């Protein structure tokens, strides 16, 4: 337990530092009108940028962790999350414990359950929901930016500058 705390604190710090760096890169790309590849075909997946519903991604992740990531076309991450979920469920004996609980044998259900493995599941489960929701929101923002640039480049009359956004 005492070794987990420094790792946890470092993970929080590293996540914050990475988020700040990514925000700086994003702002720089927006100011420089950086191009973004809206459509890619790779060995593992076909990715295209489109608008998705964040709540649908979250609900899919609530049902089965990794399905929300599949909804976003993040296939490699979805496979990793699914395999990790299966490993956690297998080592915790959750399915067997649930079976005994449904049969009404609470003491056998408690004895079969490996609590150390099961303790990983709530944070992992809610992470997959959060990840699916936030990545959908960010993809939608990226879709709006790419669509705005495309429309400005291809359909804005020459010599006219039509601005969007607040008039502050």
DSSP per position, 13-60: HHHHHHHHHHHHHHHHHHHTT-----EEE-SS-EEE-----HHHHHHH
Q: Helix 120-155 and helix 54-63: axis angle, to 10°?
A: 150
Whether the per-residue pLDDT at 39 is higher than 80: the answer is no
pLDDT value, residue 132: 93
Percent of the chain at pLDDT exceeding 90: 42
pLDDT value at residue 134? 93
With a cut of 70, say whether residue 34 has pLDDT above it: yes
pTM: 0.73
pLDDT of residue 167: 58
Please give the distance of CA 41 from its chain centroid, rounded to a whole number: 21
Q: Which long-range contacts (CB under 8 A, 24 or more apart) does 84-89 make?
A: 84/124, 85/121, 85/124, 88/117, 88/118, 88/120, 88/121, 88/124, 89/121
pLDDT of 21 reads 87
Greater model confidence, 146 or 159? 146
Please give the average per-residue pLDDT across 92-116, as a whole number.
Answer: 92
What is the average per-residue pLDDT within 12-34?
83
């Amino acid at each position: 337990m005492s070794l987990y705390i420094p790792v946890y604190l470092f993970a929080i710090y590293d996540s914050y530092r990475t988020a700040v760096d990514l925000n700086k890169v994003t702002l720089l790309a927006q100011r420089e009108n950086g191009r973004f590849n809206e459509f890619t075909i790779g060995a593992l997946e076909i990715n295209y940028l489109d608008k998705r519903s964040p709540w649908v991604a979250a609900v899919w992740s609530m049902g089965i962790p990794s399905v929300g990531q599949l909804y976003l076309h993040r296939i490699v991450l979805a496979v990793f999350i699914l395999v990790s979920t299966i490993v956690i469920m297998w080592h915790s004996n959750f399915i067997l414990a649930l079976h005994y609980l449904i049969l009404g044998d609470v003491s056998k259900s408690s004895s079969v359950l490996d609590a150390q493995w099961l303790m990983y599941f709530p944070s992992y489960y809610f992470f997959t929901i959060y990840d699916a929701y936030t990545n959908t929101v960010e993809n939608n923002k990226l879709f709006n930016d790419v669509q705005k640039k495309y429309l400005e480049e291809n359909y804005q009359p020459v010599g006219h500058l039509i601005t969007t956004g607040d008039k502050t």
